[in-house]
């Protein structure tokens, strides 16, 4: 993997209609390394960090400092995948200038290649300013978890023809502002199909059916490392959490029985030094 060419923003754009894009979250050096070795196209340091790594109840409390700390760690673990930093709550909403500065910090201090932000056409000016500053942007419409208080919970979005069309308008405004890809979260397949058909940039679905140009999942969900709840749209490809508990139980059992450490894990004095100690 280390000699593979890094994935670029133009390559992600050009993938539309050619090949499906594979994206996954990662939040630190080992997880980014694993994702990169698996050959994903894009790694997202998601603000889902708040929930799956920091144990918070929602994503609202995660800070720029938290995100930059983890983005920089993840950047050290990947060599090929495009690294996208997720703009946390209140890092971009207040005004365009602050949004550009914070987005820039993801590239300059987090060593990301791009940022992602939640929200519709109200953020087109923010996206345009970021792109103008040389910061590639991924949009995110549908269920936008930073807005759960406004949305009334974590609900599927775009469930009527009218709301599907409104979501399409949002997505188009972000595309026109210069976004190079669009996450669609928790929307009916028909809504995702409409947006995927109408946009010229790739759509990346999570809970958006099989019609999008790519997929994204939270690493801890797909590996079975997060057991608080499993959304309907998650497929668990492994049960790493229980496997880790098993391994640690074996370790504790062997410590308590004295089976670990064995001679092969143990340093010894040379015989002549051992004799002097006797
Ligand atoms: O924070 C996150 O993990 C995300 C993905 C689910 C798209 O935004
Ligand atoms: Na997110």
Among all bound ligands, the one having the nearest atom to the CA of 91 is 2
Q: Where in the chain is the domain with CATH 3.20.20.60?
A: 9-238
Domain 9-238 fold = TIM Barrel (3.20.20)
pLDDT value of residue 278: 83
* ipTM of predicted complex: 0.99
- Specify whether the CB–CB gap between 193 and 211 falls below 8 A: yes
pLDDT value of residue 78: 96
pLDDT value of residue 84: 99
Mean pLDDT by 10 residues, the chain (278 residues): 82 98 98 98 98 96 98 98 98 98 98 98 98 98 96 93 98 98 98 98 98 98 91 95 97 98 97 92
28-33: long-range contacts at Cβ-Cβ below 8 A with a sequence spacing of 24 or more? 28/53, 28/70, 28/73, 28/74, 28/77, 29/73, 29/74, 29/76, 29/77, 30/77, 31/74, 31/77, 31/219, 32/73, 32/74, 32/75, 32/76, 32/77, 32/78, 32/81, 32/83, 33/77, 33/78
Among all bound ligands, the one having the nearest atom to the CA of 27 is 1
- 86 CA distance to ligand 2 centroid (A)? 6
pLDDT value of residue 1: 44
Active site residue 272: no
pLDDT value of residue 227: 85
**Catalytic-labelled residue, pool 169, 175, 176, 185:** 185
Atom 1 (ligand 1) nearest CA = 46
Atom 3 (ligand 1) nearest CA = 46
- 165 CA distance to ligand 1 centroid (A)? 23
- Closest atom of ligand 1 to 118 CA is 8
Atom 4 (ligand 1) nearest CA = 46
Ligand 1 binding residues, C-beta < 6 A: 25, 44, 46-48, 86, 183, 185, 206, 216, 218
- Counting ligand 1 atoms within 8 A of each CB, the residue from 27, 45, 47, 226 with the most, and so the one to mutate, is 47
- 97 CA distance to ligand 1 centroid (A)? 24
d(CA 144, CA 154): 8
d(CA 89, CA 183): 17
pLDDT value of residue 166: 98
């Amino acid at each position: 993997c280390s000699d593979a060419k890094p994935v670029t923003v133009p390559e992600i754009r050009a993938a539309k209609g050619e090949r499906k894009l594979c994206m996954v979250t990662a939040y630190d050096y080992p997880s980014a390394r694993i994702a990169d070795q698996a050959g994903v196209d894009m790694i997202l340091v998601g603000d889902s960090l708040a929930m799956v790594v920091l144990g918070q109840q929602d994503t609202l409390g995660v800070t720029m400092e938290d995100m930059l700390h983890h983005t920089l760690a993840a950047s050290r673990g990947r060599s090929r995948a495009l690294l996208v930093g997720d703009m946390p709550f209140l890092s971009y909403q207040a005004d365009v200038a602050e949004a550009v500065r914070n987005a820039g910090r993801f590239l300059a201090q987090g060593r990301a290649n791009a940022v992602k932000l939640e929200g519709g056409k109200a953020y087109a000016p923010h996206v345009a300013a970021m792109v103008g500053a040389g910061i590639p942007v991924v949009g995110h419409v549908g269920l936008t978890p930073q807005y759960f208080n406004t949305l009334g919970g974590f609900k599927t979005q775009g469930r009527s023809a009218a709301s599907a069309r409104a979501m399409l308008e949002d997505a188009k405004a972000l595309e026109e502002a210069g976004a190079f890809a669009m996450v669609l979260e928790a929307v009916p397949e028909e809504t995702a199909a409409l947006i995927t058909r109408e946009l010229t940039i790739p759509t990346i679905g999570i809970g958006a059916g099989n019609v999008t140009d790519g997929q994204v999942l939270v690493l801890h969900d797909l590996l079975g490392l997060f057991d608080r709840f499993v959304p309907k749209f998650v497929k668990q490809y492994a049960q790493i959490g229980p496997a880790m508990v098993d391994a640690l139980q074996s370790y504790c059992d062997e410590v308590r029985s004295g089976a670990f450490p064995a001679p092969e894990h143990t340093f010894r004095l040379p015989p002549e030094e051992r004799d002097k100690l006797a």
